Amino acid sequence: MAWLVRRIAASIAIVFAVVTITFFLIRLAHGKPFIPGGDQAVDPAVIAVLEEQYGADKPSHIQYIAFLRQLTRGNLGQSFALQRPVADALAEAIPNTLILTGAALLLDFLLGLGLGVYQALRVNRLPDVVLGNTTLFIYSFPTFWLGLILLLVFGEWLHWFPIGGKTDPVLCPAVDSFRCTLDLMHHLVLPALTLGVVGAAGTARFQRAAMLEVARQDFIRTARAKGAPERRVVLRHQLRNALLTFITRFGLAFPFLLTGAVLTETIFAWPGMGRIATEAILRRDYPVVTAVALVASAMVVAGNLVADLLLAAADPRLRSASADVT
Amino acid sequence: MRTWARLSIVAAVVVAGACERRAAGCSGDYCGTLVMAAVGEPPTLLPTSTEEVVARDIAEQLFLKLADVGMSTNTIGDEDFQPLLAERWEWDGPLTLVFHLDPRARWHDGMPVTAADVAFTFVAYTDSSVASPFRSAVRRLASVTQRDSLTAVFRFRERYPEMFYDAVYHMRILPKHLLLSVERSQWRTAPFGRAPVGNGPYRFVSWRAAQAVELAADSTFFLGRPRIARLIWRFTPDMQVAISQLIADQADVREQLATPENIARARAAQQLALHPYPGNTYGYLGFNLTANGDSGSPHPIFGDREVRRALTMAVDRARLLRSVFGDFAKVPPGPMSTLLWIWDPEIRQLPYDTVQAARSLSARGWRDRDGDGVRDRDGQPLAFRVLIPSTSQIRRQYARLLQEQYRLVGVRVEIDEVEPSVVGERVSGGRYDAVILARVNDPTPSSGVPQSWTVGGRSNYSRYRNLAFDRLVDRATSASTREQAQPAWRAAMELINADAPGVFLFALDNVAAIHSRVDDVRIRPDSWAALLRTWRIPSDRLIDRDRVGR
């Protein structure tokens, strides 16, 4: 329990540090809010009024204190560029990011786990060699490139999937919610594939290695010597122990998915947090950038915490090690 | 296995059912859904608060002006203006303009549009706490008052040819009864901006953040029921995705295709028709005439007029244009887009002449003394940096081609690709050598040219200063007819071309791609969506998405 409290306290400290660093770093970067670029002439008087209205004219440390005060009241401030409360914008975007990353995570783990186990059971045979090289090939794909290729082939050429967006704006919400849900799933396929397939290739390689590592352990040999059926040996003994690697990867997958989501959401016009973050950075929308850093770091830290808890639950040795430390 | 097969069939049927658009539904002359593939999303739909292009296009449907320019885009006088909210107007003396509102005009909540709304709108546009980007555009208006519920009186500070244009072009009339209670400093973030109540041909239906805005035709619109029932602006952050949506028949309209590659792709799509129209954008390589970061002293290279002229003559603008735009742009005869009526290919310009350019540079002391291929003087190489926004593929292409052309005359160019906000910060602060910028023109040269090129112009980022040029621009903008203004504009353009504060590189010819089922497409060059309410889809050409109704 004490270990858990310490982990939560450390997690909060990490999130706080990330937010603080982001808050000051984005203000140190070149470029200013309310200046859209050199092409548009913006009246300096207009910029001055806007800076005053949004509090961006004050020194950074004063803005930081104001930000912390607002944060304690659950207020993330007003977006400079979106011209609405940051909390409202994120409240709409976060569920979309969770849908996308959730689908990608599911694909990543189900496909990765299945392929890894399949390869391990056919180690050094033709399927293992072919899948090994294929997963390595896919793992080396940049996410944005894969996204563009999928969009071109399955969207523009074959017309199998919609190009961008979360739902068809003509159909939804004009038709009933069931159809819109199916439409959403139709729109989700390509971005989830983009984000999930590359991760699945990595997961498959990790899982294969873990399965082979466990296969060399004494208890596997013992189980076979005792006459346990092969299916039971694989599922109950080998796979179960190899899942520890899988759980660790679950924690590591969050940062990967969130960074991948930034590009994927932009390519597929998916209305999530990553897309908001990209536009906020380009437009120096300080409140949104800081809030996204807050939410993203909290999600990553929480993901790792959940992974640690799952590991502790799955492996009693880790629980006792944690107790020893505390 | 059989179970799986059955489940797959059931799933396929369900998905197919979901994908089936409503085949029944709307039919007749007032059906149809147009999906616009928009790049970017506006922050608000309140017209006072943003000048973003997509916001303007949507506002064209929601909020009317008193009158608007006609297809001629003539902004001098009032003859070519078309009545909208005002059914007529008259001059009451040299400085007073009286508008009579159309008594049939209604807000979408049913309230009548009154002169009180017009007076309220003027106050809002000029209130500094609203921080409207159009505030300076109405600076020569002294007041707007209400004579009676349907008569609004505009008083000007001075008499000039474009008084009428200033009175109507930038102000979209706003509902006083809905906005009066909103604190002016809060207008930008007011909920009204995300669910506006307008008076135009279309009423607001929904805005799904980062996805789409939907409008529906107002069947009671006093100037005639719009022929297309639904308009949807579909937002994407990327131009290529928008083009792909269009090609894949998931959108109907993209008003600007921008590059020859996109135009070729759209041309190959059978369901699309291409509509060329004059562009309102020109691009140029701007020289900073003052020292980088020190506006008090001249730039060591660009402060010298002869060097600027040589650097202009060293650029083969026609060749650059062909490389980047193919046939879909023109070399501008000065700082102007093809939209402007002052466009005249006969305006005198510096020729492309690398021999003369090299001779001029040598004459000014810039010679390659150390044989490294770069000219130098007093130990300093003839080298400068060109600033471009990293988001612009076209300007990246231009910068690289310019780099190569300048290399041939012994000038070293380095390219700084930075984010647009950094470009904005650096050019407005004078912290750059040269920059490739694009300018969007209003239909009148009287706003863009003084703003960008005269002393005190708020986007005169080159710090170009020639009082003779300013006088010519003054004379041109105060002429009472186009015929009188033309010689002054021509002289002003020839003077600025001779001074070469920049190399005027391209003026876009716009090409819109619109689904071929749409008829009566009329595009007003200054605002492509201004006449959307007159477009129609014949009933025998309706497709599935036209029949989906709410």
Condensed to tens digits (0 to 9), the pLDDT of residues B170-213 reads 999 999 999 999 999 999 989 999 999 999 999 999 999 999 99
Domain boundaries, chain B: 34-63+200-272+511-546, 71-176, 281-508
| Cα B365 from chain centroid (whole Å) | 42
- The larger pLDDT score, comparing residue A221 to residue A248, is at A221
Contact B422/A50, CB-based, under 8 Å?
no
Give burial (CB, 10 Å; 0-12/13-18/19+) of B354. Answer: middle
Contacts of A276 in chain B (CB under 8 A): 210
Third-level CATH fold of B281-508: Dipeptide-binding Protein; domain 3 (3.10.105)
Between B295 and B250, residue with greater pLDDT: B250
Mean pLDDT for B72-93 is 95
CB neighbourhood size of B181 (10 A) = 6
Among the partner-chain residues B44, B211, B389, the one whose CB lies closest to the CB of A166 is B211
Give the best residue of A83, A167, A284 to mutate against chain B (max B CB count within 10 A): A83
CB-CB under 8 Å, B421 with A31: yes
Q: How many CB atoms lie under 10 A from the CB of residue A317?
A: 9
Decide: B145 and B153 in contact? Cβ < 8 Å. Answer: yes
DSSP B188: G
Work out the minimum CA distance from A174 to partner chain B, whole angstroms: 5
Query: What is d(CA B327, CA B263) in angstroms, rounded to the nearest whole number?
Result: 11
Question: So what's the pLDDT on residue B8?
Answer: 55
Q: From the CA of A107, how many Å to the nearest CA of chain B?
A: 19
Mutation site, B36, B421, B460, interface A, largest A CB count within 10 A: B421
Mean pLDDT of chain B: 92
**Domain B71-176 identical in fold to domain B281-508:** no
The residue among B189, B214, B545 with the most chain A CBs within 10 A of its CB, best to mutate, is B189
Q: What is the pLDDT of residue B172?
A: 97
pLDDT at A307: 83
**Do the Cβ atoms of B129 and A49 come within 8 Å?**
yes
Whether the full predicted model's pTM is greater than 0.90, yes or no, is no
Q: Are A47 and A34 in contact (CB under 8 A)?
A: yes
How far apart CA B493 and CA B469 sit, in angstroms, is 8
What is the predicted pLDDT for the residue at B100? 98
What are B334's two structure tokens? 């000065």
Instruction: Give the integer Cα–Cα distance in Å for A239 and A244.
Output: 9
Q: Is the pLDDT of residue B379 over 60?
A: yes
* pLDDT (0 to 100) of residue A34: 85
Which among A82, A155, A169 is the nearest to B43, CB-wise?
A82
A60-86 in b/e form (b: 16+ CB < 10 A) is: eeebbeebeebbeeeebbbbbbbbbbb
**Could you tell me the two tokens for B210?**
């980062």
**Tell me: the pLDDT tens digits for B264-291?**
999 999 999 999 999 999 999 999 999 9
The 3-state DSSP class for residue B254 equals strand
Quickly name the fold that domain B71-176 has. Dipeptide-binding Protein; domain 1 (3.90.76)
Q: Is the pLDDT of residue A321 over 70?
A: no
Nearest chain A alpha carbon to B53: A40
Of the candidates B324, B291, B336, the one whose C-alpha atom is nearest the C-alpha of residue B490 is B336
Question: Can you give the residue ranges of every domain in chain A?
Answer: 86-325
Q: A307: alpha, beta or left, given left = phi > 0 and alpha = psi -120 to 50?
A: alpha
List chain A residues with CB under 8 Å of B14. Answer: 182
**Which element (helix H / strand E) includes B161?**
none
Residue range A241-260: mean pLDDT, rounded: 78
**CA-based radius of gyration for chain A:** 24
Residue B322 — pLDDT band, cuts 50, 70, 90? Answer: very high
Share of chain B above pLDDT 70, in %: 95
- The interface predicted TM-score (ipTM) is 0.84
For position A3, what pLDDT does the model report? 78
Residue B16 in this model has a pLDDT that exceeds 60: no
Decide if pLDDT at A191 tops 90.
yes
Q: pLDDT value at position B4?
A: 53
Torsion (CA) B531, B533, B536, B539 in degrees, nearest 10:
180
Task: State whether A271 and B185 contact (CB < 8 Å).
Answer: no
Rounded Cα gap, residues B536 and B302, in angstroms: 53
pLDDT score recorded for residue A165: 93
**Residue B14: predicted pLDDT:** 42
- Contact (Cβ atoms closer than 8 angstroms) between residue B180 and residue A136: no
- Per-residue pLDDT at A202 exceeds 80: yes
CATH topology of domain B34-63+200-272+511-546: D-Maltodextrin-Binding Protein; domain 2 (3.40.190)
Answer yes or no: is pLDDT of B18 > 50: no
Q: Is the bond preceding residue A173 a cis peptide, omega within 30 degrees?
A: yes
Is B352:B317 a contact under the CB 8 Å cutoff? yes
Mean pLDDT of chain A: 88
Question: Which residues of chain B have a CB within 8 Å of the CB of A41?
Answer: 451-452, 458-459
Residue A40 CB partners (closer than 8 Å, separation 6+): B51, B424, B440
Please give the Cα distance from A79 to A291 (Å, whole number).
10
Mean pLDDT confidence for A113-133? 90
What was the pLDDT predicted at B334? Answer: 97
Q: Is B153 in contact with B96 (CB distance < 8 Å)? A: yes
The pLDDT tens digits for B387-436 are 999 989 999 999 999 999 999 999 999 999 999 989 999 998 999 999 99
Report which listed range, A154-158, A230-234, B193-197, is most confident.
B193-197
Residue range B22-36: mean pLDDT, rounded: 77
The whole-number average pLDDT for the span A119-139 is: 89
Rg of chain B in Å (alpha carbons): 26
CA angle B235, A274, B266 (to 5 degrees): 35
DSSP secondary-structure letter at B120?
H
B333: three-class secondary structure by DSSP: coil
Cβ–Cβ < 8 Å for B525, B280: yes
- The yes-or-no verdict on residue B475 having pLDDT over 50 is yes
Question: Which residues of A fall within a CB distance of 8 Å from B422?
Answer: 30-31
**Does residue A224 or residue B517 have the better pLDDT?**
B517
Terminal alpha carbon distance of chain A: 9
> Could you give phi then psi for residue B34, rounded to 5 degrees?
-110, 130
The pLDDT of residue B6 is above 60: no
DSSP state of A151: I
Q: Which member of B135, B193, B236 has the closest CB to residue A164?
A: B236
Judged by CB atoms closer than 8 Å, whether chains meet at B248 and A33 is answered as no
Pairwise CA distance, residues A162 & B273, whole Å? 22
Mean pLDDT of all residues in A64-77? 93
pLDDT of res. B345 = 94
> Does position A262 have pLDDT exceeding 90, yes or no?
no
Q: Please choose, from the candidates B439, B255, B459, B469, the residue with its C-alpha nearest in 3D space to the C-alpha of residue B337.
A: B439
What are A264-316's pLDDT values in tens digits?
Answer: 998 999 999 999 999 999 889 999 999 999 999 998 888 888 888 888 877 77
Q: Which helix (H) or strand (E) holds B38?
A: strand B33-39
Chain A contact probe: residue of B211, B281, B390 with most A CBs at under 10 A: B211
pLDDT in tens, B341-365: 999 999 999 999 999 999 999 999 9
Report how far residue A164's alpha carbon sits from residue B38's, in angstroms, rounded to the nearest whole number. 12
Query: Do A111 and A135 meet the contact criterion of CB atoms below 8 Å apart?
Result: no
* Distance from C-alpha of A109 to C-alpha of A106, rounded to nearest angstrom: 5
pLDDT at residue B19 greater than cutoff 60: no
Distance between CA atoms of B473 and B450, rounded to whole angstroms? 7
180-219 in chain B: CB under 8 A from chain A: 185, 188-189, 193-194, 206, 208-212, 214
Decide which of 2.40.50.140, 1.10.10.10, 3.90.180.10, 1.10.3720.10 is the CATH code for A86-325.
1.10.3720.10
Q: Which residues share a beta bridge with B272?
A: B515
CB burial readout B390-427, b (16+ within 10 A) else e: ebbebbbbbbebbeebbeebbbbbeebbbbbbbbbbbb
The pLDDT of B54-69, averaged and rounded, is: 97
Residues in contact with B417: Cβ distance below 8 Å, sequence separation at least 6, in sequence order: B388, B389, B390, B396, B399
B285 Cβ neighbours under 8 A, 6+ residues apart: B315, B386, B398, B402, B434, B435, B436, B502, B503, B505
CA distance A233 to A187: 41
For residue B541, give every residue at least 6 positions away whose Cβ sits within 8 Å of its Cβ, in sequence order, or none.
B517, B519
* pLDDT confidence of residue A320: 60
Q: Is B389 on the interface with A (CB under 8 A)?
A: yes
- Show residues of chain A in contact with B19, CB under 8 Å: 182-183, 186
Q: Predicted confidence band at B294 (pLDDT cuts at 50, 70, 90)?
A: confident
Kindly determine whether residue B389 and residue A182, on different chains, have CB atoms separated by under 8 Å: no
Name every residue whose Cβ is closer than 8 Å to that of residue A19 and which is 6 or more positions away in sequence. Answer: A290, A293, A294, A297
CA–CA dist B137, B139 (Å, integer): 6
Higher pLDDT: B337 or B25? It is B337
CA angle B352, B301, B323 (to 5 degrees): 35
Helical packing angle, A177-215 and B2-19, nearest 10°: 140
